[in-house]
Amino acid sequence: MATYTVEFVGTGETIEVSEKRTVLSRCIEEGIAQEYSCRVGMCLACSAEILEGEVTQPAARGLTDEESERFALTCMARPQSDLKLDRGKYPPSITVDENATHTVSRSAGDD
């Protein structure tokens, strides 16, 4: 079983994640403050931009196919290589309410 290094840019935080585990599960174990809500790949609260590396996330239903190449839903994402992630970065198909810290909603016309 392969284990990969996941680095969160700009935070100095790095964790080791098995290819069989999700990034979010390891964040929780390590006490890293990664946002999340639904834990089933729908709400997008745990989104992170993939700056380097690859993940598998077949159950990440909240992302389009194109978005899943550039963004990881840490609740679903399992590393396939060492990763550099930028947490709190959201795919272009959603908007973030700047007045709320945990609200993520779909843009109009994405139904």
Residues 24-74 pLDDT 10s:
999 999 999 999 999 888 889 999 999 999 999 987 788 888 899 999 999
| Residues whose CB is less than 8 angstroms from the CB of residue 74 and which lie 6 or more positions away in sequence, other chains included | 22, 23, 24, 27, 34, 36, 46, 47, 48, 85, 87
**Per-residue confidence (pLDDT) for residue 98, from 0 to 100:** 58
Residues 63-87 pLDDT 10s:
888 899 999 999 999 999 999 999 9
End-to-end C-alpha distance for the chain, whole angstroms: 39
Compute the distance between CA of residue 111 and CA of residue 107 in angstroms, rounded to an integer: 9
Q: Considering the entire predicted model, what is its pTM? A: 0.81
CA angle 59, 4, 28 (to 5 degrees): 65
**Does the domain spanning 3-106 belong to CATH 3.10.20.30?**
yes
Q: Where are the domains of the chain?
A: 3-106
- DSSP readout, 59-111? T-TTS-TTHHHHEEETTT-EESS-EEEEET---TTEEE-TT-SS-EEEPTT--
Instruction: Provide φ and ψ at 75, rounded to 5°.
Output: -70, -20
